[in-house]
Amino acid sequence: MRLKDKVTLITGGAVGIGKATAVRFAEEGAAVVICDVDQQRGTETLEKLGPDAAFYRVDVTDRGAVGNWVAGVLEKFGRIDVLVNNAGIVRDSLLVKMKDGELIRQMPVEDFDLVVAVNLKGVFNCTQAVVPAMIRQGGGVILNASSIVGLDGNLGQTNYIATKAGVIGMTKVWARELGRHNIRVNAVAPGFTATDIISSVPESILAGMKQRTPLGRLGQPLDIANAYLFLASDEAGFISGNVLRVDGGLVVGT
């Protein structure tokens, strides 16, 4: 019961890593509040989280909606101990694709803007909304979803990598700014993980991912959830400003 009675907010908590983290935190005694844009799957996940849990339909790119969500949580629970900024999307494309000297395709600017809005500005919106309550109550924990590609790079993911590298930067500056308020800020950088995001990836590509991972398998959402659990717990009480790779030993591109 490492998170007993801790009020924990998890964005993108309806599916994948967010769902696994919500379930794992509930098992460890947390009062779990998830948000997501997927009403149906959010409601389904809520049923697995126990009587102290709650689900809110929230778009993290909408600052007003985020503010209302946080206000509602504070009214219901009275405090916020942990924020897991998990919500994220991908819209992969090469920066440019040329053939015979002619431009035939490029990453749409709309896809760049959307990924930045969700993966980067969404983290900013939620953290900025939650931090005043954490300061007033004397502390808290903020955990941000980065990725190994934010550290190592990857083909076809200019927008996604920009956000995940940006999350690392924000993690480090917030650890410096908020440490004096007893708020710890860390990031987790998952490797290739078996979630809905890669459900459409051909088996041949998945086999290559496994082959490039020294432990010989894809990560599971529970692997990432357990990393979040450790960083949220008092066992990580002197860890802040760090990026924890949970990647099976993978270095992208090798």
Q: Cβ of 156: how many Cβ atoms within 10 Å?
A: 14
Could you give the 3-state DSSP secondary structure of residue 238?
coil
Q: Are 229 and 28 in contact (CB under 8 A)?
A: yes
Could you give the 3-state DSSP secondary structure of residue 118?
helix
Q: State how far the Cα of 19 lies from the Cα of 34, in Å rounded to an integer.
A: 9
Q: State how far the Cα of 251 lies from the Cα of 254, in Å rounded to an integer.
A: 6
Closest of 145, 166, 155 to residue 88, by C-alpha? 145
To the nearest 10°, report the CA torsion of 64, 65, 66, 67.
50
The one-letter amino acid at 7: V
Residue 55 neighbours by CB under 8 Å, 6+ apart: 13, 14, 33, 34, 35, 36, 42, 43, 45, 46
Q: State how far the Cα of 135 lies from the Cα of 127, in Å rounded to an integer.
A: 12
Strands 7-11 and 31-36: parallel
Catalytic residue among 69, 160, 174, 228: 160
Is residue 160 part of the annotated active site? The answer reads yes
Q: Would you state the structure tokens that stand for residue 139, as one six-digit string? A: 């502390």
The alpha carbon dihedral of 151, 154, 225, 67 has a sign of positive
Catalytic positions are 160
